[in-house]
Amino acid sequence: MIAILPVAEQDRAALLGRFGLSGPAFCLAASDGKECLGSAAYRLEGETMELLAAEGVDARLLDGLLRAALNAALDAGARTAVCTMPSLFPALKHLGFQKVPDNGTGSGKTPRMQAEIFGIFSRGCPGGCHQ
C-alpha cells in the first residue's frame, strides 16, 4: 500500500539537497513499504504556499503528492499556492493552476503558476481521478 507521509526531520536536508534546495521546508515522501516512489517540498509564508519541487514515478503518483502537499498547506492556513518550477507546470495545469502573466512588460521574470488551494479541492478531479 502506498503511503504519503512527512519526511523525518533527520532525512529532510538530504531530500532538499537532492532537489538542489536548502533552508527550511516541509517535505513529503510517497513510499510502498521501504521503496520511495516520489517526494515533494514546499514552504509556507503567511497564507501562501510555494511549491519548491516534486517528483513521482508516474503521473498519478505525482498528482497524489501534489494534492497531499496542497492539503497539508491548506490545513496549515495557506490559501494560495505558487510554483516557479516549469517542469511541474503540466501537472499543475491539470490541477487547476493558471500561469501568471507578466502583464506584457517583458520583464523576464521567472514564469510561475498560481492557484487558490480551496478552489482546487472544490472542483474535484477533472474527468475523474483515474487518468
Using the predicted structure, report yes or no on whether residue 127 has a pLDDT greater than 90.
Answer: no
Domain boundaries defined on the chain: 2-123
- In sequence order, the β-bridge partners of residue 49 are 44, 81
* Segment 56-91, tens digit of pLDDT: 999 999 999 999 999 999 999 999 999 999 999 999
Give Cβ neighbours of residue 120 (< 8 Å, ≥ 6 apart). Answer: 67, 70, 81, 95, 96, 97
CATH class of 2-123: alpha beta
Classify 33 as helix, strand or coil: coil
pTM, to two decimals:
0.87
Comparing 108 with 85, the larger pLDDT belongs to 85
* Segment 11-41, tens digit of pLDDT: 999 999 999 998 899 999 999 999 999 999 9
Using the predicted structure, report yes or no on whether residue 131 has a pLDDT greater than 50.
Answer: no
Instruction: Quote the strand ranges of the chain, DSSP E.
Output: 2-6, 26-32, 35-45, 48-56, 80-83, 98-99, 113-116
Name the grid cell of 81.
499556492
Q: Do 96 and 123 touch, CB atoms closer than 8 A?
A: yes
Phi and psi at 120, nearest 5°, equal -65, -45
Comparing 131 with 31, the larger pLDDT belongs to 31
